[in-house]
């Protein structure tokens, strides 16, 4: 697995799609999703130039992150249980998957205790898939003011994982919907939300065309994950 070569290819594709879409490539952050992969692979990606990494399990991150360079920036992208909020606050510089007010309140409380602030993204489940976590749009709009009022949290935008489709183009409506929902949230708050985290290995180009500011790429960088996480 040549991570540096994979990274070059991905960066090339990001630049190309930005050119087509009339966007500055500097407005798109490539986050490496390192779940299931060992610290050595994180290090290889870091050596190749990546600084942002995503993990989806607190337990796995708790053992992995301390074994990695202290310069890396870690984002939580999985479902967070309230009883893991304290660890998440300690380990991550952003939690991209906040999906309820009670969870946000718990993170806020843990930040208070730790003397920290936490940038967060609100995860939205646009297709209403029962198998996925995330806010239904109407519920998000209903809770937005309360979420935004939590003093230790900084609501920076939205994150979404659209339904799986065989062709990336078929995911476009969900990405577009996420962008429109972000706009509705901005209107409701009267403030800009800078971040839109969407797009994975199979569809990050479409996501960038629809306004993604963070793409979360695992497989295209590290190769296929083992079926069962070794953790
Ligand atoms: C695993 C995962 C990704 C990366 O998926 P790939 O298809 O391997 O690029 C992105 N986002 C989330 C939330 C994930 O769990």
Consecutive sets of 10 residues in the chain, 231 residues long: mean pLDDT of each? Answer: 95 98 98 98 97 98 97 98 98 98 98 98 97 97 98 98 96 98 98 98 98 98 80 42
Residue of 77, 79, 80 to mutate, ligand 1, most atoms within 8 A of C-beta: 77
199 CA to middle of ligand 1, Å? 8
Residues 139 and 113 sit within 8 Å (Cβ to Cβ)? no
Chain Cα centroid distance, residue 113 = 25
pLDDT at 231: 42
For residue 228, what pLDDT is reported? 61
Strand, helix or coil for residue 156 = strand
- Alpha-carbon Rg for the chain, nearest whole angstrom, is 17
Instruction: Report pLDDT for 230.
Output: 46
CB 80 within 8 A of CB 57: no
* pLDDT at residue 227, rounded to an integer: 72
Is the separation of the CB atoms in 159 and 140 below 8 Å?
Answer: no
Q: Where are the domains of the chain?
A: 3-222
Q: How far is CA 153 from CA 98, 108, 113, 193, 196, in A?
A: 11, 6, 13, 13, 17
Ligand 1 atom 4: residue of nearest CA: 218
pLDDT at residue 25, as a whole number = 98
Distance of CA 175 to the CA centre of its chain: 14
Number of Cβ atoms within 10 Å of the Cβ of 143:
15
pLDDT at 1 (0 to 100): 74
Q: Whose CA is nearest to atom 6 of ligand 1?
A: 218
Domain 3-222 has CATH 2.60.40.10: no
Q: Quick check: helix, strand or coil at residue 54?
A: strand
Give yes or no for residue 77 CB within 6 A of ligand 1.
yes
Q: Could you tell me the pTM of the whole model?
A: 0.97
How many other CB atoms are there within 10 angstroms of residue 191's CB atom?
11
> Which residue among 218, 225, 226 has the greatest number of ligand 1 atoms within 8 angstroms of its CB, and so is best to mutate?
218
Closest CA to 69 of 31, 33, 40: 40
């Amino acid at each position: 697995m040549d991570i540096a070569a994979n990274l070059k290819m991905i960066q090339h594709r990001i630049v190309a799609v930005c050119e087509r879409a009339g966007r500055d490539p500097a407005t798109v952050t490539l986050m490496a999703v390192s779940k299931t992969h060992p610290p050595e692979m994180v290090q290889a990606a870091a050596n190749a130039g990546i600084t942002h990494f995503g993990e989806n399990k607190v337990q796995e991150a708790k053992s992995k992150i301390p074994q990695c360079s202290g310069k890396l920036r870690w984002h939580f992208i999985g479902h967070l249980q309230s009883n893991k909020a304290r660890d998440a606050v300690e380990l991550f510089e952003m939690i991209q998957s906040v999906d309820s007010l009670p969870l946000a309140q718990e993170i806020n409380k843990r930040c208070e205790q730790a003397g920290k602030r936490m940038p967060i993204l609100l995860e939205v489940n646009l297709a209403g898939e029962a198998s996925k976590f995330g806010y239904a749009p109407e519920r998000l709009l209903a809770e937005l003011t309360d979420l935004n009022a939590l003093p230790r949290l900084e609501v920076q935008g939205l994150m979404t994982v659209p339904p799986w489709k065989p062709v990336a183009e078929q995911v476009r409506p969900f990405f577009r919907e996420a962008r429109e929902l972000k706009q509705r949230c901005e209107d409701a708050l009267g403030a800009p939300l800078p971040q839109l985290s969407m797009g994975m290995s199979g569809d990050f180009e479409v996501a960038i065309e629809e306004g993604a500011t963070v793409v979360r790429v695992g497989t295209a960088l590290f190769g296929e994950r083992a079926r069962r996480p070794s953790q």
